[in-house]
């Protein structure tokens, strides 16, 4: 459990980058997930490989990986990290219908990779939306959340099941 202190705020409330220089260097891993909900017809289009913009799942995977690597450029006050591993998995789910997106990010460093995992999922979901919005503008991006993280001073975290 954390002590509920907002570490990105100084004594006067100004935004600041957290000094992690005194933290131990440890292996840190974070996993996030989300989903893009669409009609069955749009899911069939994605799976057929016939989307006008090309390979939806392959492009979304690459976009998610690239986004994780550039998180510090997108989210103010995030530290630039030398990531050792990023995986983005996209699983078609006919029950939604849609695509479930899961990203796992690893680093050996002094700060965690939760933001990198969340950014990877978010951008992969946005890429799916962008690539098939011509077929369906009513798609929904839902449930983006941190699933688990390990390493670091705060210890492990695992979310409760989400729907």
Centroid of chain to Cα 63: 11
What is the C-alpha to C-alpha distance for residues 15 and 131, in angstroms, rounded to an integer?
A: 36
Joined together, the tokens standing for residue 115 give 């933001």
Residue 89 falls in the annotated catalytic set: no
Three-state secondary structure readout of the chain: CCCCCCCCECCCCCECCCCCCCCCCEEEEEEEEEEEECCHHHHHHHHHCCCCCCCHHHHHHHHHHHHHHCHHHHCCCCCCCCCCEEEEEEEEECCCCEEEEEEEEEEEECCCCHHHHHHHHHHHHHHHHHHHCCCCCCCEEEEEEEEEEECCCCCCEECCCCC
Residue tagged active-site, from 19, 93, 130, 161: 130
**Contact, 52 vs 133, CB < 8 A?**
no
Q: Which residues are catalytic?
A: 130
């Amino acid at each position: 459990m954390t002590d509920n202190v907002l570490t990105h705020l100084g004594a006067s409330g100004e935004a600041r980058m957290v000094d992690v220089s005194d933290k131990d260097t440890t292996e840190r891993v974070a996993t996030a997930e989300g989903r893009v909900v669409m009609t069955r017809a749009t899911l069939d289009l994605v799976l057929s490989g016939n989307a006008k913009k090309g390979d939806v799942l392959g492009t979304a995977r690459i976009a998610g990986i690239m986004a994780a690597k550039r998180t510090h450029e997108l989210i103010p006050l995030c530290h630039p990290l030398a990531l050792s591993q990023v995986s983005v998995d996209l699983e078609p789910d006919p029950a939604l219908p849609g695509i479930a997106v899961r990203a796992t990010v690893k680093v050996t460093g002094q700060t965690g990779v939760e933001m990198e995992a969340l950014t990877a999922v978010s951008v992969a979901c946005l890429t799916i939306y962008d690539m098939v919005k011509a077929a369906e503008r009513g798609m929904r991006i839902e449930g983006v959340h941190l699933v688990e993280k390990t390493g670091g001073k705060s210890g492990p975290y695992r979310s409760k099941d989400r729907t």
